C-alpha cells in the first residue's frame, strides 16, 4: 500500500510532498542539540525554513543558531569544535587549510547561482567602451579589475572564469580589492577599468551610464556557499548529521517555484535575515537544489583555478575527500527519492 501511494503521488506530480520513507527515520531520543554558526543571508535559508517549520524538531534535533559576522568566524568555531555546523563561503584560503588538515567537511550545499541572468556581472567603464578600448572581455588584458576581497577572494574565481572565455588568466589583469559599495564611485572616478559586482551596485552603475555590461553567467549553477560540519560532529554523531542534512533537503523541496514565497517559509527568512518581506518578494528567488547535491566537479574546478592562480600553498590537485563528505546528502536522497 505504501508503494502504491508513493507511485500515485509521483504520478500526480506532487513531488514536493515528503515521501513516507522520511517518516520512517525515527527521531533521535533523547533529542540532540546541534549548534549552527550562520551568516544572516538568504543563501542559507534552507536551515531557516527547516527551523521555522519544525523539520529539525521532527527528527529529534534541537538546533541552536549562533549568528556570526562572516564565514571566517564560523570556520574558527568549527575548527575549535564549539559549533557543529557552519554556513560558509568557499574562499581560496580554505583549500590550503584543507591541505594542512583543517578538520571540517562540506556536508550540504547552500544556495546556487542562477543558470541564466545571474546577479554577478562584469562591467567596464563606459568611457573606455565608448572609445572602443574595452568592448569585450579580451580587452581587459593589462586593465584594472575591481573585485570585493581582491586576490584570493570568491569573486576572483568569477573573474578568472570570465577571463577564460577570452583565453586570459588572472595574471593578465591587475586585480584590485574594492568593496561592493565603493564600486560605483570607483568606476565613476576612473580609478578602475572594470568591476565585478552584483545588484544593487551593478544596477546603480548601469543606470547612471558610467558603466557598460561586458558579461554575466560565468558560473551557472555554481555553489559558492555550503553547510560545513566539524570533523568531531561527523565522526561522533553521524546520526545527528544525517538528520540535519535530511531536514535541509526537506526544506529545499518546500521552497521550489511558487512555494518559495509560502508564508511559513517567509517567516523563516525574516526570522534569520535582515531582509524585508518586500525585498524578498520583489527580488529574484534564491535557488536551492531540491536534491541538495554537492557539485563535486564544480568544486574541483574552483580548487583548480585558485591553485593555478597561485592562491594555494600547494601545486598538485587536492584530494577532495579532505574537503567534502557526500555521505549525508546520499542518505537524504536515498530516504526522500530524487526530485
Sheet holding 61-67, edge to edge: 61-67, 32-38, 85-89, 225-230, 104-109
Q: What's CA 85's distance to the chain center, in Å?
A: 15
DSSP 49-66: HHHHTTHHHHTTEEEEEE
pTM score, whole prediction: 0.83
Tell me if the bond preceding 219 is cis, omega within 30° of 0: no
Whole-number Å distance between alpha carbons of 229 and 226: 10
Decide: helix, strand or coil at residue 99: helix
The answer regarding whether domain 121-216 maps to CATH 3.40.190.10 reads yes
CB atoms within 10 A of CB 249: 28
Q: State the pLDDT at residue 166.
A: 94
CATH number of 2-112+222-336: 3.40.50.1100, 3.40.190.10, 2.60.40.10, 3.90.930.12? 3.40.190.10
Whole-number Å distance between alpha carbons of 238 and 34: 12
Domain boundaries, the chain: 2-112+222-336, 121-216
Q: Nearest-CA neighbor of 323 among 70, 112, 75? A: 75
Give every residue of the chain whose pLDDT is below 70, as ranges: 1-23
Whole-number Å distance between alpha carbons of 218 and 35: 35
Which residues lie closer than 8 Å to 43 by C-beta, 6 or more apart? 87, 110, 111, 224, 225, 286
Amino acid at each position: 500500500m505504501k508503494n502504491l501511494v508513493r507511485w500515485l503521488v509521483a504520478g500526480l506530480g506532487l513531488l514536493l510532498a515528503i515521501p513516507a520513507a522520511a517518516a520512517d527515520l525515527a527521531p533521535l531520543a533523547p533529542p540532540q542539540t546541534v549548534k549552527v554558526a550562520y551568516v544572516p543571508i538568504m543563501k542559507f535559508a534552507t536551515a531557516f525554513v527547516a527551523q521555522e517549520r519544525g523539520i529539525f524538531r521532527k527528527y529529534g534535533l534541537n538546533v541552536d543558531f549562533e549568528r556570526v559576522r562572516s564565514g571566517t568566524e564560523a570556520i574558527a568555531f568549527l575548527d575549535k569544535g564549539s559549533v557543529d555546523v557552519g554556513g560558509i563561503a568557499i574562499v581560496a584560503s580554505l583549500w590550503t587549510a584543507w591541505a594542512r588538515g583543517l578538520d571540517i567537511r562540506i556536508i550540504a550545499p547552500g544556495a546556487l547561482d542562477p543558470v541564466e541572468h545571474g546577479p554577478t556581472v562584469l562591467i567596464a567603464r563606459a568611457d573606455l567602451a565608448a572609445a572602443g578600448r574595452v568592448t569585450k572581455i579580451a580587452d581587459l588584458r593589462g586593465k584594472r579589475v575591481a573585485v570585493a576581497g581582491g586576490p584570493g577572494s570568491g569573486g576572483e574565481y568569477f573573474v578568472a572564469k570570465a577571463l577564460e572565455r577570452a583565453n586570459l588568466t588572472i595574471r593578465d589583469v591587475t586585480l584590485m580589492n574594492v568593496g561592493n559599495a565603493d564600486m560605483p564611485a570607483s568606476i565613476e572616478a576612473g580609478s578602475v577599468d572594470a568591476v565585478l559586482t552584483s545588484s544593487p551596485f551593478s544596477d546603480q552603475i548601469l543606470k547612471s551610464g558610467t558603466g557598460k555590461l561586458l558579461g554575466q553567467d560565468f558560473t551557472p549553477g555554481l555553489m559558492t556557499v555550503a553547510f560545513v560540519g566539524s570533523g568531531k560532529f561527523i565522526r561522533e554523531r553521524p546520526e545527528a548529521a544525517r538528520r540535519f542534512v535530511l531536514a535541509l533537503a526537506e526544506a529545499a523541496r518546500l521552497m521550489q517555484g511558487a512555494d518559495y514565497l509560502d508564508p511559513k517559509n517567509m517567516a523563516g527568512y525574516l526570522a534569520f535575515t535582515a531582509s524585508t518581506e518586500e525585498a524578498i518578494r520583489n527580488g529574484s528567488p534564491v535557488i536551492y537544489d531540491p536534491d541538495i547535491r554537492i557539485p563535486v566537479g564544480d568544486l574541483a574546478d574552483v580548487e583548480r583555478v585558485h591553485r593555478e592562480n597561485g592562491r594555494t600553498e600547494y601545486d598538485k590537485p587536492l584530494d577532495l575527500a579532505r574537503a567534502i563528505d557526500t555521505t549525508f546528502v546520499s542518505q537524504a536522497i536515498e530516504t526522500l527519492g530524487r526530485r
